[in-house]
Amino acid sequence: MSTNLTKQTHFDAIIIGAGACGLMCAVQAGYLGKRVLVLEKNEQPGAKILISGGGRCNYTNLYASAQQFISQNEHFCKSAFAQWSVEDTISFFETYGITGHEKTLGQLFPVSNKAKDVVQVFTGLCEDFGQEIWCGTEVTDVISADNGFEISVIRNGRNVSLTTEKVVVAAGGLPIPKMGATDLGLRIARKFGLKITETAPALVPLTITGKDQPWYEQLSGNSIFCRVWNDRISFEENILFTHWGLSGPAILQISSYWRPGEFIYIDLLPHQDIVDLIQQEREVNGKKMLLNFMSGLFTRKFAEALSDKLPSDKNLASLTKTELENIGALIHEFKVKPAGDKGYDKAEVMRGGVSADELSSKTLEAKKVPGLFFGGECVDVTGWLGGYNFQWAWASGFVIAQNI
């Protein structure tokens, strides 16, 4: 393959990645009369937007604030959110015919429930502004050059070299490699001497192996509303048992705060006290078997599964003080030691990324490398489940557009 130094039209910047951040950046640059070229490895833009929220795209969260983001510098995202708020996201999409409906916990989805409507807003606006998107174009390298940068790409099987004064790295994180995810953002950062905060899968199911695994497997498909916590954080949402461990929103949330080797704790009945409930019931119905009592609180399947951890064949009146204490501990402090997580194939996001110390929080430009910008998931800003990650992608794309 030969390398061509292409004769380019003048672009104010080249954006790597036509995902949520890159597309928002291209559109916002368009409003400001700036011309950009977007390079995308996939054959279509916005691949992850299309699959997000089960194809419905949870595009923001009404309650988004810096508190729902993990970063080594928890203040870093505040400036971007001050420049582009949740209200800005809502009114931006409303302007182009997408109204939101709140599903739960502030999670906003398009009323149409179609993620493709979200992508079409961006592709339509890019066309209107004359922003070019080159799909099927893989960026392989970025190096410093006179007056800026030289970007190496493979396009239509040919090596092509592009020059630009400003580069926006919006190449996403490591999750779902089969959808185009690469480590390019991290590679570029390393190449220019920028620190990386350790990366790991986040919003990811957790696995259970060994002698405990069959217990979880027998419950596969059962979902329970719980409080899940560790010494850093606590979430109240459903957990889902699977044949290999635990999933569901509460588990995905805690996974971002879990480290290998640690326990997580589950309150299986977060708004009631199991011991009080048993004591009330045994005053009126002491002969009731514990198994039947538990079946009234949980599914029969779950109550039966608890039987090998509880004296389920005893009636309520005959439970001893110690047994009641053990039931309380089991239900309200169910201890789980995950073996691991399902990795980048199943993770919704990547934790860590380009260190916040290396970027200006106001502009997202690398402090040591003028003209080099990082936004979206490749930066060390990781949101909770529920539309927070897109809010960061939109906000960071907006901020960069103001500064290229």
Residues making contact with ligand FDA (CB under 6 A): 16-22, 39-42, 47-48, 51-53, 57-58, 138-139, 170-172, 175-176, 180, 182, 184, 348-349, 376-377, 387-390, 393
Residues paired with 353 in a beta bridge: 197
Token pair in block for residue 227: 């409080």
Q: For 238, list phi and psi in degrees, rounded to 5.
A: -75, 150
Enumerate the β-bridge partners of residue 163: 150
Q: What is the smallest separation between the CB atom of 288 and ligand FDA, expressed in angstroms?
A: 44
Tell me the closest approach of the beta carbon of residue 133 to ligand FDA, in angstroms. Answer: 10
Nearest approach in angstroms of CB 40 to ligand FDA is: 5
Provide the minimum distance between the beta carbon of 282 and ligand FDA in the complex, in angstroms, as a whole number: 46
Please report how many Cα atoms fall inside a 13 Å half-sphere around the Cα of residue 167, on the Cβ side: 29
Of 168 and 266, which CB lies nearer to ligand FDA in the complex structure? Answer: 168
Pairing between β-strand 158-164 and β-strand 334-336 as defined by DSSP bridges: unpaired
CA distance 108 to 54: 13
Given the complex with ligand FDA, which of 247 and 312 has the nearer CB atom? 247
User: Which residues does 320 contact at the CB level (< 8 Å), separation at least 6?
Assistant: none
Shortest spacing between CB 339 and ligand FDA, in angstroms: 22
CB within 8 A of 357, min separation 6: which ones?
72, 73, 195
Residue 202 or 336: which CB sits closer to ligand FDA?
Answer: 202
The nearer residue to ligand FDA, 26 or 319, going by C-beta atoms, is 26
As measured in angstroms, the least distance from the Cβ of 366 to ligand FDA is 16
Considering beta carbons, is residue 179 or 297 the nearer one to ligand FDA? 179
For ligand FDA, give the closer residue by CB, 91 or 320. 91
Q: Which of 142, 139, 135, 149 is nearest to 182 (CA)?
A: 139
CA distance 206 to 229: 14
Residue of closest CB approach to ligand FDA? 19
What's the longest Cα–Cα distance across the chain? 86
